[in-house]
Amino acid sequence: MSDTFISTKPIPVRERLIMALDVPGIPEAQALVEELGDAVIFYKVGMELFMSGDYFAFIEWLKARNKKVFVDLKFFDIPATVGRAIKALSSKGVDLATIHGNDSIMEAAAQAKGDLKVLAVTALTSLDRGDLDDLGFQCDVKQLVLSRAKRALQIGCDGIVSSGLEVSMIREELGQKLLVITPGIRPVDNREDDDQKRAVSVEQAIQNGADYLVVGRPIRDAADRKAMAEKIQSQIAALFD
């Protein structure tokens, strides 16, 4: 596979791994962060933790430990509401946040983001062609992702969330202009109960042009979580050497 799409952005290599804290509560999340130690610098905090309470206190706890924070709540509401939510979030020291929706929603978020980097969701990695048909999208997955990426760039979003399967197409069309965050990373073959239908390996995602990789279950469910995180860090680092 060609390496021409490998990210050229000045991102410290060990910050390119984002650990998804998809656990039931704050105590479990804190224990996992402490267990991983310096193996992980960047963390994704999503809806499950939001519903468990003390979400913003936990963000402050992460920032106090010099961690970077990706708020993945996929804000989707009327544009004014999304804009106010993003403006409020920008004061929390958060590094990345996701939004969903149409041009007006993206515009409101882009105008309110301040130093916060706003990411537009393209197509969830849990969706395949059949799912998009059911949702009424009469286009190919790649066409949908590319269309949303182009709109996000034009409107002023900082980046997108995209499966690693579509990243090379985005890079070919748009170069290195957008941050691309890729979830659904699987260092090993998918399990039968895995809900990520468009998953890729660490190597494939980086070679296709992803700037950041979001990894959850492969680390969380490992027998030695820190060792697994360091293994993935080594795989990423080898591609940038």
For residue 4, being part of any structural domain is answered with: no
Range of the domain at 236: 13-240
For residue 221, being part of any structural domain is answered with: yes
For residue 20, being part of any structural domain is answered with: yes
For residue 32, being part of any structural domain is answered with: yes
More confident residue, 143 or 212: 212
Q: Give the residue among 144, 132, 186 at the shortest CA–CA distance from 164.
A: 186
pLDDT value at residue 199: 72
Q: Could you list the residues known to form a binding site, using ranges.
A: 22, 44, 72-81, 125, 186, 196, 216-217
pLDDT value at residue 142: 77
How many domains does the structure of the chain reveal?
1
**Beta carbons of 57 and 63 less than 8 angstroms apart:** no
- Taking each helix axis as running N to C, give the angle between helix 141-155 and helix 164-174, from 0 to 180 degrees, rounded to the nearest 10: 50
For residue 2, being part of any structural domain is answered with: no
3-state secondary structure the chain: CCCCCCCCCCCCHHHCEEEECCCCCHHHHHHHHHHHHHHCCEEEEEHHHHCCCCHHHHHHHHHHCCCEEEEEEEECCCHHHHHHHHHHHHHHCCCEEEECCCHHHHHHHHHHCCCCEEEEECCCCCCCHHHHHHHCCCCCHHHHHHHHHHHHHHHCCCEEECCHHHHHHHHHHHCCCCEEEECCECCCCCCCCCCCCCCECHHHHHHHCCCEEEECHHHHCCCCHHHHHHHHHHHHHHHHC
For residue 230, being part of any structural domain is answered with: yes
Q: How confident is the model over 200-230, as pLDDT tens digits? A: 899 999 999 999 999 999 999 999 999 999 9
Phi, psi angles (nearest 5°) of residue 211 = -85, -40
Position 136 confidence tier, pLDDT thresholds 50, 70, 90: low
Q: Could you list the residues known to form a binding site for substrate, using ranges.
A: 22, 44, 72-81, 125, 186, 196, 216-217
To the question of pTM greater than 0.75 for the whole model, the response is yes
Q: Is the pLDDT of residue 139 over 50?
A: yes
pLDDT value at residue 128: 52
CATH number at residue 196: 3.20.20.70
For residue 7, being part of any structural domain is answered with: no
For residue 3, being part of any structural domain is answered with: no
What residues are annotated to the active site? Answer: 74
Q: Is the pLDDT of residue 197 over 90?
A: no
